[in-house]
Structure 1
Amino acid sequence: MKIALLAGDGIGPEIVAQAERVLHHFKQEGLKIELESGLLGGCAVDAAGEPFPESTRRLAIEADAILLGAVGGTQYDNLPREKRPEQGLLAIRKELNLFANLRPVVLYPQLANASTLKPEIVTGLDILIVRELTGDIYFGRPRGIEYRDGEKVGFNTMIYSESEIRRIAHVAFQAASRRNGRLCSVDKMNVLECTQLWRDVVTETAQLYPNVKLSHMLVDNAAMQLVRNPKQFDVVVTGNMFGDILSDEASMLTGSIGMLPSASLDDKNKGLYEPIHGSAPDIAGKGIANPLATILSAAMMLRYSFNEEEVAARIEHAVQKTLEEGYRTADIYEDGTKKIGTTEMGDRVLTNLQLQ
């Protein structure tokens, strides 16, 4: 199993280092893992002048899966758009055709009080957000900034083909079939023709999944319902832009964006795995970042790309055990728990793996 490690920028190297320790633990147990590091984002701009250099492109193509930290930083904000770190992330998704983004939103019972919502609203929360990742307004053309009638005008194109929608709909229906059999498709069909097509295609695809109950919701209502009654959702499927916003909103239901992993998959389950939080440059280098989302991303990688269900479950159990013992990084700390740093959190997870 060849895994590309792309630590990226900000807190990326700190959190990926802890996930790498977990992977080395299983390598020592006999799991056949090969790890190779590469550059993506701002660090690649600094070293090679491009956010997605050719060497990283080759590594990504050769690898069976990719574990990413985070990209970006304020020091790159004034670069030409094509040179900014985020363009590297968009480029690797496009290069590998990683069209299906899976974001589980699970509240660990030990963190119910860390959520900004009342415990009774979020206790038992378990949602899967399926976000289409290679289409929509992020990639649509034409796009740009130009002069019209003597002033600057910015424009982007929201666009989806029938085949793109059907492809992600199948992923979502299959996921719902393996869970509680409920799928909510989120769109803005009352205003946007692009998302009218989305609703039409998802509705048509539902005929192939009679065991799944399909509902539809407008995106503004979905944003409200996520904080009003989040446990009504099982699987949510939506487009690239709406999914970007809703999944970040949903992450805060769990107490911290630092707890949530994600998987971005192609049609053969080759994937890029990353925590959903950003590079957090304000805390980079301080040793206080939460590595659990990255460690849980490694668990998702072992489950989805390598079918190592038992190993993935062991990692998740070790994380839960660590939380049960009261260990917390600053973002999830509350009175009565034990505040520790990034490396110490990795230590505790490794200890609990070794005790299994």
Structure 2
Amino acid sequence: MEKRIAVLPGDGIGKEVTNGAIAVLQAVGERFNHQFHFSFGRIGGNAVDTDGTPLPDETIALCKESDAVLLGAVGGPKWDNIAVELRPEQGLLKIRKELELYGNLRPTLYYGSLADASPLRKEIIEDIDILMVRELTGGIYFGTPRERTMRDGEPGALDTLYYSRREIERVIRTAFELASTRRKKVTSVDKANVLETSRLWREVAEEIAKEFPEVTLEHILVDNAAMQIIRNPKQFDVVVTENMFGDILSDEASVITGSLGMQPSASISENGPYLYEPIHGTAPDIAGQNLANPIGAIMSAAMMLRVSFGLTEEADAVEAAVNQVLDSGYRTGDIAFEGCKRVSTTEMIDEIKATIMDTDALLKIQNCYS
């Protein structure tokens, strides 16, 4: 198989973690006889510095010509005080619009070897497997008008929360389709006791549920959902929610694995290439110090192999290698605890890559985790 991958390292630790994903994909290519061609584009703060815009046209073109997109992270304090339209995060929002990335899939998995890295008790988080489906191109992040304003002689600000029926339908239908291949339960998160958009959201969810009689639908208010993710996360299978709620809740769920650095994601579209990225930020306090956790980016690459390229065995190999390295005690600083083997970013990448390349060991590991 031959595939073209657009790589957008972005800012902060973005380059370090995407380097890890590239190294692992190269190992997969060598191990399984595939060719992955990588082309690089600018996004975020580094694009602002170089091109005067957080998302250059050539980056958009590169992504649209590729089979998949790998993104690092964008933003940082350096660009906190520039014009709103030039902020690095605008590049992220715009690429979602340009590629029509309507849904973000964020899995939260239990890693037995990391149980001590989580602040939650083992019996609460053991065997967790949650898939959050976050609507990605609507809601308050994209609604207009958004502006500073005056009302009754007092300065204020306005953000608009808007959803069309079509935006709601497609992401909820995706959640039901995914749940039908898993444990057949969808939890729809809203704030229907207060928000009109949430009442529409709930109505659409009820209608789509009739198309999937084998899947159970439950509704939960977002404030209760935030509590239940910590109190009893085992109750959840597929969780679907609007843009801002999904952003917050999926970050909260990362506490189950002990670190944002462990969490991958896939952003899906109806037509164009999918985009894969870890859910963590740019971590400017450790950028360039070889301290970042690359596993979120590496597991995002595994999602790319499985979802975009249909390479199930190869994705299984990456996931099994990550589990084996963690089981062997290797840890970056964010997931380190007493008695572990603390390693740098590049050392963690090398351990995972070597495990993938060790054919005999990999077969044993895959059998163990299958």
TM over 0.5, yes or no? yes
Q: Deviations over 1:202-242 (max 9, x none)?
A: 11000000110000000000001111101110110000010
- Tell me how far apart the structure 2 counterparts of residues 253 and 299 of structure 1 sit (CA, whole Å): 20
- Tell me how far apart the structure 1 counterparts of residues 134 and 272 of structure 2 sit (CA, whole Å): 15
Q: 8 Å contact 1:269–1:304 — kept in the other structure?
A: no
- Tell me how far apart the structure 1 counterparts of residues 252 and 222 of structure 2 sit (CA, whole Å): 12
User: Quick check: 1:157 aligned with 2:160?
Assistant: yes
Query: Normalising by the residue count of structure 1, what TM-score does the alignment of the two structures yield?
Result: 0.98
Alignment match of 1:254 (pick from 239, 254, 257): 257
Q: Which residue of 2 aligns with 1:229?
A: 232
Q: Which residue of 2 aligns with 1:292?
A: 295
3-state SS of paired residue (1:307) = coil
Q: Which residue of 2 aligns with 1:301?
A: 304
User: Quick check: 1:25 aligned with 2:27?
Assistant: yes
Q: Which residue of 1 aligns with 2:368?
A: none
Structure 2: segments with no counterpart, 5+ residues: 363-370
Partner amino acid, structure 1, of 2:29: K
Shift of 1:147: 2.3
Partner amino acid, structure 2, of 1:210: P
Shift of 1:113: 1.2
Alignment match of 2:208 (pick from 200, 205, 210): 205
Partner amino acid, structure 2, of 1:320: N
User: Quick check: 1:101 aligned with 2:104?
Assistant: yes
Structure 1 segments, 4+ long, off by >4 Å, are: none
Q: Which residue of 1 aligns with 2:77?
A: 74
Q: Deviations over 1:232-288 (max 9, x none)?
A: 101100000100000000011111111010000002473110000000000101111
- Tell me how far apart the structure 2 counterparts of residues 144 and 61 of structure 1 sit (CA, whole Å): 31
Q: Which residue of 1 aligns with 2:366?
A: none
Q: 8 Å contact 2:265–2:303 — kept in the other structure?
A: yes
- Tell me how far apart the structure 1 counterparts of residues 229 and 21 of structure 2 sit (CA, whole Å): 30
- Tell me how far apart the structure 1 counterparts of residues 272 and 347 of structure 2 sit (CA, whole Å): 32
Q: Deviations over 1:130-178 (max 9, x none)?
A: 0000000110111111223322220111111111111001110011111
Kindly report the root-mean-square deviation, in angstroms, between the aligned alpha carbons of the 2 structures: 0.9
Alignment match of 2:222 (pick from 219, 222, 225): 219
Q: Which residue of 2 aligns with 1:15?
A: 17
User: Quick check: 1:124 aligned with 2:127?
Assistant: yes
Partner amino acid, structure 2, of 1:321: Q
User: Quick check: 1:179 aligned with 2:197?
Assistant: no
Q: Which residue of 2 aligns with 1:90?
A: 93
Q: Which residue of 2 aligns with 1:275?
A: 278
Q: 8 Å contact 2:266–2:303 — kept in the other structure?
A: yes
Partner amino acid, structure 1, of 2:243: N
3-state SS of paired residue (1:344) = helix
User: Quick check: 1:140 aligned with 2:133?
Assistant: no
Q: 8 Å contact 1:189–1:218 — kept in the other structure?
A: yes
Partner amino acid, structure 2, of 1:11: I
Partner amino acid, structure 2, of 1:322: V
- Tell me how far apart the structure 1 counterparts of residues 329 and 28 of structure 2 sit (CA, whole Å): 25
Query: Normalising by the residue count of structure 2, what TM-score does the alignment of the two structures yield?
Result: 0.95
Q: 8 Å contact 2:63–2:273 — kept in the other structure?
A: no
Aligned pairs, number: 356
> How many percent of aligned residue pairs carry the same amino acid?
54
